[in-house]
């Protein structure tokens, strides 16, 4: 497996340390990393020409929806044009007929949802620079598939989480904060829209779906989701429940707080800075096509996902309170 890593002054391979042949010395075995960037077409051509891969998974993106409002141009460059650069590199290297290409599409394409639940034929209505950039990527993949007969697919994946989720994503922010509260390292943390509802699955299940899409005879786009919807509020409640605390909500709007029923302490507050200029209130996927054609279904339940993330962060914070 070959991967592209962005150059940084500090090691930024924390989430794949275990894949090194020798993690202590960062010695590579079956995983080989190349310095590169989705904003640099020259390096993409060079790497693809050298590696001559049979499958390419484009999982690279500025993937934080809220931050995409602040880094709008960069998000467009990486998430939109970056996908085009990869596809063009495949063409330049003469690999159109031998490579299979997976594009990490997103439920954020549906944004202001036009039907419930959302499936492959639901009209798109992105509500962020991230969603708009990913919309360009989606259509350029379709274009290369139809124009050059490239085996290229879009996986329209709904939110997928795990203990490796980035620390500034809401699910991981909750599991990290709850772990710190459990260990007495923190009293309180702030969130944005508690009533945003998402279809949350486990990354482990969703990555299997990505792979399955490239094992089919014909390239097709698929929605990958659980079909279940939960609010941010519910994620908070279940996370606290796992460490033996019951959260009771008091107040309204930005004055709302989450208080621990057992101790009376306030553990959750609302901060308006975490709200988005345009909100996506509700996402629910319909993965009927993936169930039928890929024989895929999610295995990890919402409750199991929450427990796994909280347990992993309790362990992490116990060993390193500054993590």
Question: Annotated catalytic sites, by residue?
Answer: 106, 108, 130
DSSP at 81: I
d(CA 48, CA 54): 10
**DSSP code per residue over 106-130:** EGGGT-S-SSSSB-TTSPP---SHH
% helix, strand, coil for the chain, step of 5: 40, 20, 40
Distances (CA, A) of 264 to 121, 240, 258, 259: 48, 14, 10, 6
Q: Which residues pair with 270 in a beta bridge?
A: 191
Q: What token pair was written down for 299? A: 């295995």
């Amino acid at each position: 497996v070959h991967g592209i890593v962005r150059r940084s002054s500090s090691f930024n391979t924390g989430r794949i340390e275990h894949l090194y042949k020798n993690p202590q010395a960062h010695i590579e075995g079956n995983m080989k990393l190349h310095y590169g960037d989705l904003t640099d077409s020259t390096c993409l051509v060079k790497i693809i020409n050298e590696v001559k891969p049979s499958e390419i998974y484009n999982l690279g993106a500025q993937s934080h929806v809220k931050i995409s409002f602040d880094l709008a141009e960069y998000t467009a460059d990486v998430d939109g044009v970056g996908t085009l650069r990869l596809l063009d590199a495949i063409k330049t290297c003469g690999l159109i007929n031998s490579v299979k290409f997976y594009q990490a599409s997103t439920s954020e394409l549906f944004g202001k949802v036009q039907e419930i639940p959302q499936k492959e034929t639901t009209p798109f209505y992105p509500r962020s620079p991230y969603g708009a950039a990913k919309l360009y990527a989606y259509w350029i993949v379709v274009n290369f598939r139809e124009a050059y007969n490239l085996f290229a697919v879009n996986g329209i994946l709904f939110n997928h989480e795990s203990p490796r989720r980035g620390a500034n994503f809401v699910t991981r922010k909750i599991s990290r904060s709850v772990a710190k509260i459990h260990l007495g390292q923190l009293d309180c943390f702030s969130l944005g829209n508690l009533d945003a509802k998402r279809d949350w699955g486990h990354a482990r299940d969703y990555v299997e779906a990505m792979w399955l899409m490239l094992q089919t005879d014909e390239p097709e786009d698929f929605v990958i989701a659980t079909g279940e919807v939960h609010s941010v509020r519910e994620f908070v409640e279940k996370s606290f429940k796992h460490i033996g605390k019951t959260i009771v909500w008091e107040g309204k709007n930005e004055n709302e707080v989450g208080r621990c029923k057992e101790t009376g302490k306030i553990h959750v507050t609302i901060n308006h800075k975490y709200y988005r200029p345009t909100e996506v209130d509700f996402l629910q996927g319909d993965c009927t096509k993936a169930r039928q054609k890929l024989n895929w279904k999610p295995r990890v339940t919402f409750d199991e996902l929450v427990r796994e993330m909280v347990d992993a962060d309790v362990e992490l914070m116990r060993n390193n309170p500054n993590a």
